[in-house]
Every structure is written in structure tokens, then in C-alpha cells.
Chains A and B, each alone.
Chain A
């Protein structure tokens, strides 16, 4: 079993949400053979990880945009 993922985008790079999903894939692995209660908890944890990563990717993008606007104004 090779558990790879494919991500695609249209008219631009991957979205912050897709990148957050990729990060979550690297942070937590959920075995198909784990007991169901553990799997459920792991999936909840994964969603939390994804939410936090997405939040800070978005913050980073906005920060970068803000920096560029300031540089252009100056």
C-alpha cells in the first residue's frame, strides 16, 4: 500500500487549504487498521492540525502582502 496524495489547482498555485492539508498529512498518519475510537480521535486531531496550519499559512500570506504594499508605498 502506497499512501500518496495528488493535489491540483486551476489558474494559480495550490491554495492555503490544500497546503495545510499536505502539512497535516506529514504531521499525522492514521492507520486503516487502528481501532475505530482511535481512528476517530486521530481524524479529529488531524482536522485541528490542518485548521491551525491553514490559519498561520493565511496569516503568513497576508503578512507578506502587507509587507509588499508597504514597500511599494515607500
Chain B
């Protein structure tokens, strides 16, 4: 059981097929326990080994303000930082997935996996995932 940071392989394929509207579809971030196995081979969201606790709902939260920018020869995607407030949860990693793939809705196609490098716990407090700086060298999703 392990969570490994990766851009999901199926996402790369689906991106080239034009299935993902990075600045128009609704993307979500779901949190997972250390019992989960997530990585480049993850193809979709599943509630198995998802975090549960006060302040957290199954399926995670929608990511706000998805934007696509071209800087020089690199295109990149950014989202607002994600915050669970007044939450009592422990998470070991996260999955970003698209709920509207290919113009549909209610889908669960995986985008990227974030490994926290250990358990992170909030107790009646904030649980915040800060995305990297939105530029051509650091943004969460980049095509150079």
C-alpha cells in the first residue's frame, strides 16, 4: 500500500483525446489514508480507503478557479489552494479527478496523485493543500 506523486498515465492519454476541459470542467480533490494505493496507474476515483472524519465528505471538494496559461513554450494549469475547514481528519495523499470528462457528468477520471510523504492530521482545524506556484516551472500540471 503506497501513495506516489504522479500525473496519471490515463490522464495524459485522455488529455490528448480532448476529454478534459482544464478551465471549464469541475475537478475535485479527494483525500486518502495510508492504506490506499495510488499512483501513475490510477485511472479513476474510488472511495476505497478514502479519508473519513468531521469536516470531510466522501468524494472530496471541488477545486476552484481552474486556469490554463501559456508561458513561453510551456502551458500550465493552476487551481486555488484547497482547504477543509474545522476538520478532524488524517490523510496520507490526495487524488485530483475530473467529474465532467468528455462533456459528461458524474465521471471520476483521474488526473494526478499527490503523496503527502506521511500522515497529515488536522484536529478541529484547517487542512490545506497549497498548490505550487502557477508558472512554467512549478505549476501542478505542465506541458513543455
The total of chain B residues at the interface (CB under 8 A) is 25
B114 adjacent to A4 (CB under 8 Å): yes
Range, interface on chain A: 10 to 19
A4 adjacent to B123 (CB under 8 Å): no
* Complex contacts, B137 vs chain A, CB 8 Å: 29, 31
B125 adjacent to A6 (CB under 8 Å): no
* Complex contacts, B129 vs chain A, CB 8 Å: 4-6
A29 adjacent to B125 (CB under 8 Å): no
The CA of A38 and the CA of B7, in the complex, are separated in Å by: 29
Write the residues of chain B forming the contact surface with A, with a CB cutoff of 8 angstroms: 5, 7, 81, 85, 112, 114, 116, 120-133, 135, 137-138, 140
Write the residues of chain A forming the contact surface with B, with a CB cutoff of 8 angstroms: 1-14, 22, 25-26, 29, 31
